Homo-oligomer: A and B are copies of this chain.
Amino acid sequence: MVANNVLSAAPLNNDGLSSSNTNAPLQNSFINLDQGDTVLFESYWRKMSDECAVVIKGCELLSYVSDNASVCWFMKPELRDVIKRLHALVGNAETQDGHIVIGNGSTQLFHASLFALSSSSNSPNPINVVAASPYYSGYPDETDIVCSSLYKWSGDAKVYDKNEEYIEIVTSPNNPDGSLRRPVVNKKLGREGKLIHDLAYYWPHYTPITHKANHDLMLFTFSKCTGHSGSRIGWAIVKDMDIAKKMTRYIVMNSIGVSKESQTRAAKIMEVLCDSYDQNFKLGSKNSELFFEYSKRLIKERWEKLREVIKENGDLILPKFPGAYCNFTKESSETYPAFAWLMCKKDEDGVSYLEKELKVLARSGNRFGSGPRCTRINMLSRGDDFHEFLKRLSNIKEISY
């Protein structure tokens, strides 16, 4: 089967997505590992396909409103409840003191967060928005898309030294390099700015769960939790009621809420996920075939093969990750991020290297506030693409995959 992400050398659009598709044989075509698609997890959900099925009839879900008693009135109570249940199961975030706000992906909640955190500012100037490099490539463009007067992208948090209000985005594990992060700016200035904790990858298939995150504003996304990126479901856990109301207002003003179909489906899939762990616990069975363990094994296998091939390749370096004990899987392991942050050993342009030597499309370190030596590679792409990528990297015969 020709993988969907095998693309011609058509120019990428601004989102790093190739704008065309070919059905050329894999070995002759470009492989696009620039995107953040999460289709690796599809094999798990294929096993659970019927169990997770939702049926939505024609007369259902007509109304804008789900719960008039809630701040986030377009949110289905069952979705809110299963989000809390999932966090309680995994132990990765405290939800008890928090208000849940949902959005069309955590991307929309990022915008809602900027709006909410900046709109109470007394400063006549836009609030500075910063993140430590390498930062997620979407943050600068998303922040400045409509040139808001409330906030503006102000670059690398590591070098931020203005004595002005700021919002720091702390992404942990980080996209693109998988590192575990803490706020940077407050250390330097001796005071705290406002923080957005983007915890999209703080799940046990990517990284050990060492503690219950308990920050003022935490963002999560269904896309990276289960791999269902097409659903466009994200949620925020927000301590301050006023901030939660402002975030809700943003979502209302922007799109009058979030798809009820997606909410229904996300709730179903998360419920099946939680049920599977509860049932296993009751039976005293091992969890090795359940979602997080199964998916972790797949990602880990890819990382191990990639490290093997990179070692032989000689031109490229991968980051190392410290080990830690995971309270959820009950074992020690390292981080296996959703992206590989590949650096050229020599001072050369990583994107050009990959394009010319390997016909592989990746996202340049320039877009992450780092130099061009680094590139970001998607570790969750379709099997055919990843296999072919390894093959070209190693320039050896078929690897047993």
Which A residues have a C-beta under 8 Å from some C-beta of B? 4, 7, 13-15, 17-21, 35-39, 41-42, 45-46, 48-66, 68-69, 71, 73, 103-105, 107-108, 111, 114-115, 138, 141-142, 145-151, 223, 227-233, 245, 249-250, 252-262, 264-265, 269, 272
Given contacts A150-B147, A259-B261, A261-B262, contact A68 B253 (CB under 8 A): no
Closest to A115 in B: B146
Q: Which residues of chain B come closer than 8 Å to A147, judged between CB atoms?
A: 148-150
The 5 closest A-B CB pairs, nearest first, are A52-B58, A230-B260, A259-B259, A261-B261, A104-B255
Q: Which residues of chain B come closer than 8 Å to A68, judged between CB atoms?
A: 4, 7, 17-21
Q: Which residues of chain B come closer than 8 Å to A4, judged between CB atoms?
A: 63, 65, 68
Q: Are A229 and B15 in contact (CB under 8 A)?
A: no
Q: Are A38 and B17 in contact (CB under 8 A)?
A: no
Closest to A145 in B: B253
Which of A38, A39, A257, A262 has the most B CB atoms < 10 Å from its CB? A262
Which of A20, A38, A255 has the most B CB atoms < 10 Å from its CB? A255
Q: Are B63 and A37 in contact (CB under 8 A)?
A: yes
CA distance A50 to B59 in the complex (A): 9
A-B contact pairs, 16 of them (CB 8 A): A42-B62, A48-B58, A56-B56, A62-B227, A62-B228, A63-B230, A104-B104, A104-B258, A107-B256, A115-B145, A115-B146, A149-B149, A231-B259, A233-B259, A255-B255, A259-B261
CA distance A18 to B38 in the complex (A): 39
CA distance A68 to B32 in the complex (A): 12
Q: Are B45 and A49 in contact (CB under 8 A)?
A: no
CA distance A48 to B62 in the complex (A): 14
CA distance A142 to B233 in the complex (A): 22
CA distance A145 to B48 in the complex (A): 42
Given contacts A147-B148, A149-B147, contact A41 B62 (CB under 8 A): yes
Q: Are B58 and A53 in contact (CB under 8 A)?
A: yes
Among the listed B37, B108, B231, B265, which residue makes an inter-chain contact with A254, where contact means beta carbons less than 8 Å apart?
A: B108
Q: Are A62 and B35 in contact (CB under 8 A)?
A: no
In the assembled complex, how far is the CB of residue A53 from the closest CB belonging to chain B, in whole angstroms?
Answer: 5
Q: Are B53 and A39 in contact (CB under 8 A)?
A: no
